[in-house]
Amino acid sequence: MKTFLLGKDRLSAKKVLDILNKELKPILDEETYQKVNHSYQETQKVAKGEKPVYGINTGFGPLCSTKISADDTIKLQYNLLKSHSAGVGDFLDDNIVKTMIIIKAHALSFGYSGVQPKTIERMLWFLENDIIPLVPEQGSVGASGDLAPLAHLFLPLIGYGYVKYKGEIFETGELLQKLGIGPIELGAKEGLALINGTQFMSSFGVLSLVRMKNILENADIIGAMTLEALMGSLRPFDERLHRLREYKGALYVAHKFRTLLEGSEILKSHENCERVQDPYSLRCIPQVHGATWNTFLHFKEIVHTEINSVTDNPIIFSSEDIISGGNFHGQPIALPLDYAAFSMSEIGNISDRRTYLLLEGNVGLPKLLMKNTGINSGFMIPQYTSAALASENKSLCFPASADSIPTSLGQEDHVSMGSISARKLYKILDNLEKILAVELVCAAQAFDFRRPLKSGIVLEECHKVVREYIDHADEDRIFANDLKKGVEIIQSGKMVKAAEEIAKSKNINLYGGYYELFGIH
């Protein structure tokens, strides 16, 4: 198995996935081990000294002026983890929790946090053995770090809290005893280093980035299928047009659509029709989808910067050079999380409008995409579902980062609320997969009515994937089953993979020169 050198190699969303899938193993090499240990030893010097240094021999937050005796510096760290474990709500998804561990281990391995190497090694042991701490999703305000969730995440290091192991829930102390291993002993500053940081927000950011990439690739394919079914024009996707307003996202989308529809008999069949122009939801796909792809690029840059950063406090440069600053503040990632949320919501808005166009009964399609309507309602109600979800997403678009409620008796008087931004983005992505599933089911149904004409070879392959799981509907049935399968097709990325494979086999340049740019490496 390949290894990832914590504190040395650059972490990316793709590498996080590889670690989660156990295709890449995170390790501390000897040089990094010594660097981390040196930072720990320097911190212990401070703990034994008389000079007050925040979080090492002082209290926290509004208690930063309270000096702690050398004898109590260790107890202080244990109390910190216990008292800050005040989260509520549902427990986080396992992959979010594991990603938090990966990112925190990487951040601590830079050697500026004053932790012991064995603390990082124990985190990796939890990860390797799939021992998943139970972390409530609510309680962080996104500044001073993601305190509550990180406290719950690392309680098991000292034998407290609850963990999931082999499908069962255990009290940590009980499981450690069962496995014949004891809790670690914290040193000065370690509790603070563990809970100070943006790893909750960042983990949502990483996995949201991965989901955004897959969703957008699917949205482009589904949009192309709808364009074909509605006999839309490819002229608005002309590269010359987009070179006059040179946004990378629009150029990328336009190129993909031209490739997906290349050689289309459907397109050729109406090239001399009298329609002047298509509705915006077809004609402006490069501008709308492209704008969200541009957001993706910015979001990727921010996420990758954040997961390769030291975000706790104070920062230990040496025992004589310690800076108490604000690298824990979530604002740099909170704003992009909100930006990503409403940009992805817009993909749902335009998708719902395209679904509506498919049902109108124009350009030779039967009304509600079924021939015998009256006795059959056709695809009327799936569009209701799409509309409901699009509306729900709009309600989730208020930026959490626009708010701030002072905490810590005013010591922490501006907070990012980025944890709320992160959770809202995830919910929007959940809804968006379902909205696109509605369009996918309807577009595939409408596509069938263009037979015997065929589309381009790549898009035909994508339609074939849909028909492997969802049959054409000649009469009403329980459409919830079709939508569920549609969501599964989108989440699995099967259409995207099929498009890539057929394009590669036929030497078709599906992504133009944009493959690396819009990747997650």
Query: Could you give the angle at which helices 199-229 and 285-306 cross, rounded to 10 degrees?
Result: 160
The length of the chain in residues reads 521
> pLDDT: is 286 or 71 the higher one?
286
- Would you tell me how many other CB atoms lie within 10 Å of the CB of residue 59? 17
pLDDT of residue 272: 80
Using CA of residue 446, residue 448, residue 451, residue 456, what is the dihedral sign? positive
Can you point out the beta strands (E) in 390-508?
A: none
Distance CA 119, CA 132 (A): 16
Closest CA to 7 of 24, 21, 26, 23: 26
**Is the distance from CB of 407 to CB of 415 less than 8 angstroms?**
yes
Q: Which of 33, 40, 54, 252 is catalytic?
A: 54
Lowest mean pLDDT among 56-70, 196-210, 493-507: 56-70
Paired strand residues for 5: 27
Condensed to tens digits (0 to 9), the pLDDT of residues 422-444 reads 999 999 999 999 999 999 999 99
- pLDDT, average across residues 225-252: 97
Catalytic residue flag (residue 280): no
Model pLDDT for residues 281-319, shown as the tens digit of each residue: 999 999 999 999 999 999 999 999 999 999 999 999 998
Q: Tell me what the mean pLDDT of segment 2-16 comes to.
A: 98
- Write the CA distances from 66 to 60, 331, 406, integer angstroms: 8, 28, 21
Residues contacting residue 175 through CB under 8 Å, at least 6 positions apart: 131, 163, 165
What is the model's pLDDT at position 66? 64
Q: Residue 67 pLDDT > 90, yes or no? A: no
Domain boundaries, the chain: 2-197, 204-313+329-505
pLDDT at 46: 85
| Local confidence band at 502 (pLDDT 50, 70, 90 cut-offs) | very high
Half-sphere exposure in the Cβ direction for 186 (13 Å, CA): 26
Tokens 């706790």 -> residue? 312
In the CATH scheme, what is the code of domain 204-313+329-505?
A: 1.20.200.10
- Report d(CA 395, CA 221) in Å as an integer: 27
Band (357; pLDDT cuts 50, 70, 90): very high
CA distance 283 to 122: 55
400, 423 Cβ separation under 8 angstroms: no
Query: Measuring CA to CA, which residue among 200, 7, 13, 203 is closest to residue 115?
Result: 7
Region 501-517: mean pLDDT is 95
Residue type present at position 272: N
Angle at alpha carbon of residue 489, lines to 488 and 495, rounded to 5°: 160
Burial (0-12, 13-18, 19+ Cβ within 10 Å), 25: middle
CATH superfamily to which 2-197 belongs: Fumarase/aspartase (N-terminal domain) (1.10.275.10)
